[in-house]
Amino acid sequence: MVKLQDAFGPDAPAVASVTEVPMRSGDHVLLGRAYRPLGARPDQPLPVIIYLHGGGWCIGSVDTHDGLCRELCNVSGVMVLSLDYRLAPEHPFPAAFEDVLACVGWVERHGPEIGGDGRRIALCGDSAGGNLALAAALHLRDQGGTSVRALGLIYPCVDIYAQTGSREAFAQGYFLDRETLVWFFERYLPHPADALDWRASPILAETLAGLPPLELVSAECDPLVDECDALGRRFEESGVPVQHHRATGMVHGFITLGRLFPQASQYIRALATGVAGQLRGA
């Protein structure tokens, strides 16, 4: 994955500052990377996008998504905190989910220490990271939390064992193949029955009502595109605002590969603009 990003990721844009952020969570320390956008005053408290990288819950890091987070930061004009959550198989479900909740709690309590506003948070992520963002938002809603004001999901996996037309149509030859999906699922979920837990398959939650507004990016040639469509419909049926941006002709993973897919910047901008609008209007 690192080689792929090195070869096809865009040049990383400059930002105002980058800070490595340790966050104590129980008996371990989470690491994050905070970006401030160009033009932001040093003393200006900014809303915070917590970004959760993709990689099937098993690979990826703040480094593989550094360029994306820099662009997201500058376009949105808010702080981005990219989280290095624990990865499977060493740390299977629900470790990563718990890390996201711990990160949100840390930002709520300590956001001002890094120049962030802990009352205005968005949860964003691609693929497995989108899965974690949605699951965490559901949990926080159920706990009565109000700090998460927006969601930004990029081709999220929301139903582990979905049987959809797109999983068949794009099973081979479209970057994310069936065998890779199975490999990730088996390592993240060593107990297959956990796939029916809404924390692993968040579209299975009883209701999506009460969630924050959603900016959704999906890729036309992606085995996960049908479940993204289903997710958008469930948001609409639940009365939650959703903007669905379909990336025509794109494959799963395109959003970090801007040198190969220049369209990536268009969809980063769409997501960033929508999320920032929700955070500033909150």
pLDDT reported for residue 25: 83
Dihedral pair phi/psi, residue 59, rounded to 5°: -135, 180
Q: Give the pLDDT of residue 282.
A: 53
Angle at 256 between CA 25 and CA 126, to 5 degrees: 50
pLDDT at position 168: 97
β-strands 79-84, 28-36: how paired? Answer: antiparallel
Instruction: Please tell me whether residue 218 adopts helix, strand or coil conformation.
Output: strand
Q: What is the pLDDT at residue 146?
A: 83
* pLDDT recorded at residue 42: 85
- The one catalytic residue among 127, 147, 201, 218: 127
CA nearest to 58, candidates 188, 175, 161 = 188
CB 211 within 8 A of CB 237: no
User: Cβ neighbours of residue 86 under 8 Å, at least 6 residues apart?
Assistant: 28, 95, 96, 99
Give the whole-angstrom CA distance, residue 152 versus residue 141: 16
Q: List the alpha helices (DSSP H) in the chain.
A: 2-8, 66-76, 95-110, 128-142, 165-169, 178-188, 225-237, 264-281
Chain position carrying tokens 């624990």: 86
Q: Is 252 a catalytic residue?
A: yes
Domain boundaries, the chain: 2-281
Catalytic residue among 126, 197, 222, 226: 222
Nearest to 124 by CA among 228, 55, 215: 215
Question: Residue 281: its pLDDT value, please?
Answer: 83
How far is Cα 101 from Cα 156, in angstroms, rounded to an integer? 18
Q: Is 147 a catalytic residue?
A: no
Distance CA 249, CA 32 (A): 33
110 is catalytic: no
The residue from 53, 65, 139, 252 that is catalytic is 252
In this prediction, residue 140 carries a pLDDT of 98
Residue 124: φ, ψ to 5°: -135, 155
CA 268 to chain centre: 12
Q: How far apart are CA 117 and CA 225, in angstroms?
A: 34
Fold type of domain 2-281? Rossmann fold (3.40.50)
Which pLDDT tens digits describe the chain residue by residue (282 residues)?
999 999 999 999 999 999 999 998 888 999 999 999 999 988 899 999 999 999 999 999 999 999 999 999 999 999 999 999 999 999 999 999 999 999 999 999 999 999 999 999 999 999 999 999 999 999 999 999 889 999 999 999 999 999 999 999 999 999 999 999 999 999 999 999 999 999 999 999 999 999 999 999 999 999 999 999 999 999 999 999 999 999 999 999 999 999 999 999 999 999 999 999 999 985
Cα dihedral value 133, 138, 139, 142, nearest 10 = 160
